[in-house]
């Protein structure tokens, strides 16, 4: 089955914990992105990567980290420095200047 | 950098009525524009895109949008909506600042179709 797989679908984090959200793609796309979605604020860009072993900060990178060791994978770590991590997180891929393709999202809740 | 403004946060409409969801972007230079739809607890699905050529773009589910360069707008329209069109709709523009390609999204418009 082709596409973008985000896991887990739901994730609960305790205060002070780091958690990692997985994003895997088999579309052979070079570019990958992480967005955060909060009600009424649309999608805000956290990090993005155009090629393996290279990534850039988006508008709200503080408290997050990423790696891009393989073309297929772009995991996002939400660190304890992120003070308000409860949100819906979306991973996306693209071939470049055209549209992005999205995974089904991970809903992170702090408990 | 590019920015996108969706002028209505919520649009209520009756079934079979026409609807327009408004979107304005910040730059008049060459742009690529997109509309996405999101159903609850799901990812985003592409409705349509404008890359070049005809300013009237047709998409899936009977939606269309018109690119207006002079007004920097890309409004989404549907002549007759269905209950199943109830969802959140996002307008997006391509941004290439710094040589890196990414999509910038508006805040979204929640379309509620009533029987």
Residue A107 to residue B41, Cβ atoms within 8 A? yes
Q: Quick check: A78 and A61 in contact, CB under 8 A?
A: no
pLDDT in tens, A60-96: 999 999 999 999 999 999 998 888 999 999 999 998 7
The tokens for A90 are: 């979306």
Contacts of B7 (CB under 8 A, 6+ apart): B22, B23, B24
Cα distances (Å, whole numbers) of residue A47 to A37, A59, B89? 13, 8, 23
State the residue for tokens 């995974």. A103
Read off φ and ψ for residue B34, nearest 5 degrees. -145, 150
Q: CB-based contacts of B54: which residues, under 8 Å, 6+ apart?
A: none
B6: which chain A residues are within 8 Å (Cβ-Cβ)?
A: 42
Dig out the tokens for B76 from the structure. Answer: 């989404």
Q: What is the dihedral of CA B114, A41, B7, B105, to 10 degrees?
A: -110
For residue A110, pLDDT over 70 is answered with: yes
Residue B60 φ/ψ, nearest 5 degrees: -80, 165
* Residue B105 to chain A, least CA–CA distance (Å): 6
Predicted pLDDT of residue B85: 97
User: Are B41 and A105 an interchain contact pair (Cβ–Cβ within 8 Å)?
Assistant: yes
Residue A1 has pLDDT above 60, yes or no: no
pLDDT band at residue A39 under the 50/70/90 scheme:
confident
């Amino acid at each position: 089955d082709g596409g973008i797989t985000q896991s887990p679908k739901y994730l609960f984090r305790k205060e002070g914990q780091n958690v990692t959200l997985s994003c895997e793609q088999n579309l052979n796309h070079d570019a990958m992105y992480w967005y955060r979605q909060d009600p009424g604020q649309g999608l805000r860009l956290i990090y993005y990567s155009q090629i393996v072993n290279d990534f850039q900060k988006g508008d709200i990178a503080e408290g997050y980290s990423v790696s891009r060791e393989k073309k297929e994978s772009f995991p996002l770590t939400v660190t304890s420095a992120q003070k308000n991590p409860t949100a819906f997180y979306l991973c996306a891929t693209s071939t470049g200047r055209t549209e992005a393709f999205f995974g089904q999202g991970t809903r992170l809740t702090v408990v | 950098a590019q920015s996108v403004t969706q002028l209505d946060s919520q649009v209520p409409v009756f079934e079979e009525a026409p609807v327009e969801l408004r979107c304005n972007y910040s730059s008049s230079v060459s742009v690529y524009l997109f509309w996405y739809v999101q159903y609850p607890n799901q990812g985003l699905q592409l409705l349509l895109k404008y890359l070049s050529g005809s300013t009237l773009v047709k998409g899936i589910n009977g939606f269309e949008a018109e690119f207006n360069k002079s007004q920097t707008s890309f409004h989404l329209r549907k002549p007759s909506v269905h209950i199943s069109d109830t969802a959140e709709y996002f307008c997006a523009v391509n941004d290439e600042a710094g040589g890196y390609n990414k999509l910038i999204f508006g805040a979204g418009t929640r379309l509620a179709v009533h029987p």
